[in-house]
Amino acid sequence: MTLTSGNGKVYVTNRDSDTVSVISDVNTPPFTNQSLQDSWGFSASGIGPPFTEVGIMTFDGSGGCNVTSTLNTVGTVTGPSDSDTCTYSMSPNGTGSIAVQFSGDVFPELLVFAILERKTAEKKKADAQEMTFIGLGADGLRGSASRR
């Protein structure tokens, strides 16, 4: 997945499905840490060794967070595990970063993300939010989260 911008909009491109989504435009109010609150369900996968992960990310609106996840690495399931530390930062365009540390990990997992808002034609307001994220490590982590 890649983030690009142009014409006053920010886009996320999913290379696997060849889709492009607008994540922010000049008509979208700026995002802040307060924009990211509540609990979000997520699923993720990666390589090195192959793994899948599901869980809940909870954001406090002030830059603090908690992650509870269950991990399946080549058939060995661990968890659910709670993060020891978790912080996040939002940019005005709806992109941001998360640093999450679990017990036993040498380094925190660093993620970058983009908030995608879905609007219904009738309501003309967000009826759900989605987050697409990728890890910055060598394990190829990528996934999505949603909140309703």
The residue segments making up the domain with residue 92 are: 34-147
Question: Does residue 106 lie in a domain region?
Answer: yes
Q: What pLDDT, in 10s, does the model give residues 70-121?
A: 999 999 999 999 999 999 999 988 889 999 999 988 888 899 988 876 544 4
pTM over 0.75: no
Question: Does residue 15 lie in a domain region?
Answer: no
Provide the CATH number for the domain around residue 103. 2.40.128
Question: Does residue 22 lie in a domain region?
Answer: no
Tokens describing residue 75? 């058939």
Question: Does residue 65 lie in a domain region?
Answer: yes
2-6 and 9-14 beta bridge pairing: antiparallel
Domain count, the chain: 1
What does the alpha-carbon distance between residue 126 and residue 114 come to, in Å, rounded to a whole number?
A: 15
What does the alpha-carbon distance between residue 1 and residue 19 come to, in Å, rounded to a whole number?
A: 10
